[in-house]
Chain A
Amino acid sequence: MIKTLQNRFEQGYRTSRYPKEPIQLPERYRGRPQIVPDAPAELAAHCAAACPQEAIDADSKRIDMGRCVFCGTCERLSEGRFVKFTQDFEIATAQKEHLITDGSLPALADHAKQHFKKLFGRSLQLRQVSAAGCNSCEADLNVLATPFFDLARFGINFVASPRHADAIVVTGPISRNMKTALLQTYEAVPAPKAVIAVGSCTLSGGPFRGSPEITEGLDQLLPVDLFIPGCPPHPLTNLHAFLSFFK
């Protein structure tokens, strides 16, 4: 007993005050990419050619955050003169076309569906479906339940049954072998329901695009309400997305 108490005191109080107080992520964290508008065209073309995800359109000088895995190759190559990854983690969007960006993003809260806020603002139950996710998106969703993030204090929980859920949170590039199970889970969620796509794989196929075994984008199968980019998205990106879109 005394050991349990000693441990408790040593551990202290750990819950973050976000979103009331901002959080600064470390310098090397790669959040929202910012394009330098007057970067030379050849530099843009060079970065586009080197991008492993073919996420950069050199002509329009835009980057597709749905394809991007935030590896930072373009930033290294251009030494920040074409792309600079900021520490801004609030990068989810309500529309797929908003993912294609020069660095400016519309405020997510302004594009949220108002009836969702009314329905789910005080209580949001999520059913997570991993459809060939590599376990990093899953892990950084799971971590929202730990004391630092403490998702439950916002009335948001992950639940075991789709019957208890208001939304499904999908991760992974939706393998052929998981497609049926995913669609059945979606069917089992009572309407009205929301669909949240988490991570580069779910948004575009991510690193696995081109494989005949996967689907390149959940929006080909289901009506997606919320797009959360990243490889994986930082837990705060997920948290910000849930709070802005539903609260």
Chain B
Amino acid sequence: MRTDFLEIGNGKAVDRDRIPHLAFDDFRSQAMGIVDGGGKVVQYFAYEDSGGIKLLAVLRTDRLLAAGCDAPEAYPAMSLTSEPFHLFERELAEQFAIRPEGHPWLKMVRYHPNYRGREDVFGNNYTEDIPGNYDYYAVDGEEVHEVAVGPVHAGVIEPGHFRFNCIGERVLHLEIQLGYQHRGVEQLLMNVDARRLPIIAEGIAGDTAVGHGLCYAQAIEALTDTTPDAGARIIRTIGLELERLQNHVGDLGALSGDVAFLPPANYCGRMRGDFLNMSLWLCGNRFGKGLVRPGGVRFPMTDVDRETLAGRLEELKPQVRHTMELLFATPSVRARFEECGAVSTDDAHKLGLVGPAGRACGIAYDARRDFPTEHYAQLIIPENAKSTGDVYARARTRADEVLQSMDMIESLLKDPVQTQCDLPSEFKPMSSAMVVTLNEAWRGEVSHCVLTGADGEIVRYKVKDPSFHNWNGLAMSLRDTGISDFPLNNKSYNLSYCGFDL
């Protein structure tokens, strides 16, 4: 179909004047048209501009498309027919008091007053602590009961509230209510001194410090026309793959623990630590904090580093492979993983699932292959798509990615890496520009979008963690599933609370 949306590049700055400014009705119908034709929402948010409020959407097909419009005070919700907008519209309502009329579940996302000081769309009184004035999905029936869990959970884990509607042990519906972790990240990123930005970016989700750190650094690089050298791009790629390994290996162990098969649970716990220690070796922090900065990386990869990391990987690789073989060859594990918490491909598309959770449902999209950054254009990224959408498919996808990531790092460590670690400390972003960055972190597509004003100041900083798409996938997985399979399903996604809550 014909569209006025402008094609943009991942991590390429665009003059804001070049972004098509459409009439709202055209914006709405074209955005819905792209999404109904199979497109996905990368970003959809509002921002203040010369006294008014504007909307900006970045959609993805096999290309990235952007357009904006003036924001109405209220409009007919797109979610009614075009489900991937669902949470984005709720977020818009919460942040800017723009009401999507007829939205099927218009409920606050993170529980905070809107940025404009307008009357609250949800009727909440924010002087009151959570829980505020809001409903949960309810199921009527004599034998229906509710189970409420959280915000404080039983393990060492972030907080969130889970409300199960059950009949017996069968879950009819799970509603996940987050917001407890809200720290005001986007507002901070727009208002603090520039030297604080990378520290905040790496803290958006500490288990995705490299993923978010990269999105931030690439955005600043695009806005200052800076290109990191080839060595830095390789080291960044290694950093992102190490992050993937740490989390996937840890979660596969936890999945094994959740089905009471303890050997891989213990082995994976230890091996995850070994991958964390590889990041520690590289940059002095187990989570990769401090590695990536605009302009490149802060630590070189000397020949000693290469040999050390390659040596550790060589020792770990067979151990990891054998543990994965043990996990997937054990009948008691297979019996619990298979057909548990399945999400159909159609539902996954409507929910807009990304990352391994999406690939487990047959959506092959991988930003490393489709919108490559850093060194990824030179690497082969397999499709990894599975068809069953169950715990097994999510675990298998992640195990496949573990093996692939180890191969990638191994190949990248083969040749000497030269990089210039003397990075500029100050940046002057170009004026009136917009940039979107996307990276495939371990949970899926992380995206930052930065808009600058007339003096190059940041006027809007929008963050999207893949968890923003995927939490509803977990809720969908629980439909018609035994409530005792909740931990297993939860761990198969292992989504970020703080990445969602910001």
Contacts and interface: CB of A to CB of B under 8 A. Distances in A.
B250 to A, nearest CB: 8
A133 B282 contact: no
Nearest to A188: B152
A234 interface: yes
Interface stretch (B179-187, B233-241, B359-367, B430-438): B179-187
B263 interface: yes
A214 B183 contact: yes
Contact of A208 (B200, B263, B319): B200
B273 A180 contact: no
Contacts, number: 197
A210 B192 contact: yes
Nearest to B290: A71
B200 A207 contact: yes
A3 B325 contact: yes
B85 to A, nearest CB: 25
A28 B281 contact: yes
B287 A136 contact: yes
A222 interface: no
B154 A160 contact: yes
Given A177-B130, A214-B184, A231-B289, A185 B205 contact: no
A147 interface: yes
A132 B498 contact: yes
A220 interface: no
B54 interface: no
B498 A133 contact: yes
A158 B155 CA distance: 8
B156 A211 contact: no
B486 to A, nearest CB: 15
A78 to B, nearest CB: 13
A7 B205 CA distance: 33
A116 interface: no
A72 interface: yes
A52 B183 contact: no
Nearest to B291: A28
Contact of B280 (A3, A4, A28, A207): A28
Contact of A207 (B159, B196, B281, B501): B196
B156 A178 contact: no
Interface stretch (A36-44, A98-106, A107-115, A138-146): A138-146
B206 A139 contact: yes
Given A3-B326, A52-B195, A178-B159, A72 B284 contact: yes
Interface string A158-199: 101100000000001101111111000100000000000000
A4 B326 contact: yes
Nearest to B132: A177
Nearest to B193: A52
A32 interface: no
A52 to B, nearest CB: 5
Query: Number of contact residues on B: which range applies?
Result: 35 or more
Given A175-B180, A176-B129, A178-B159, A28 B283 contact: yes
Contacts of A176: 112, 129, 182
A138 B207 CA distance: 10
B384 to A, nearest CB: 24
A161 to B, nearest CB: 8
Interface in B269-297: 269-270, 272-273, 276-277, 280-287, 289-290
A159 to B, nearest CB: 9
A142 B270 CA distance: 12
Contacts of A207: 196, 199-200, 202-203
A221 to B, nearest CB: 13
A25 interface: yes
Interface in B186-220: 187-188, 192-193, 195-196, 198-200, 202-207, 209
Contact of B155 (A29, A140, A160): A160
B284 A206 contact: no
Given A177-B129, A206-B203, A28 B273 contact: no
B200 A132 contact: no
Nearest to A158: B156
A50 to B, nearest CB: 7
Nearest to B264: A7
Nearest to A144: B156
Contact of B263 (A7, A130, A232): A7
A247 interface: no
Contacts of A20: none
Nearest to B250: A139
Interface string A199-234: 001000011101111100000000000000001101
Interface string A8-52: 101100100000000001101110000000000000000000111
A72 to B, nearest CB: 6
Given A132-B183, A214-B183, A214-B184, A7 B267 contact: yes
A214 to B, nearest CB: 6
B299 interface: yes
A17 to B, nearest CB: 15
- Between B187, B195, B203, the greatest number of chain A beta carbons within 10 A of the residue's beta carbon is seen for B203
- Between B181, B277, B496, the greatest number of chain A beta carbons within 10 A of the residue's beta carbon is seen for B181
A51 B285 CA distance: 18
Nearest to A230: B285
Contact of A212 (B129, B156, B184, B250): B184
A13 to B, nearest CB: 11
B322 interface: yes
Given A133-B498, A145-B269, A147-B266, A7 B322 contact: yes
Interface in A76-124: 76, 85
- Between A6, A72, A158, A234, the greatest number of chain B beta carbons within 10 A of the residue's beta carbon is seen for A72
B184 A211 contact: yes
Nearest to A179: B129
A104 B273 CA distance: 30
B111 interface: yes
A131 B159 contact: yes
Closest 3 CB pairs of A and B: A136-B206, A134-B206, A146-B269
Given A70-B284, A213-B182, 10 more contacts: A10-B318, A10-B319, A29-B280, A73-B195, A147-B269, A175-B183, A177-B112, A178-B151, A207-B196, A212-B184
Interface of B: 110-112, 129-130, 151-152, 154-159, 179-185, 187-188, 192-193, 195-196, 198-200, 202-207, 209, 250, 263-264, 266-267, 269-270, 272-273, 276-277, 280-287, 289-290, 298-299, 318-319, 322-323, 325-326, 329, 425, 496-498, 501
10 contacts: A3-B326, A132-B181, A140-B286, A146-B273, A148-B273, A175-B180, A177-B112, A177-B129, A178-B159, A213-B112
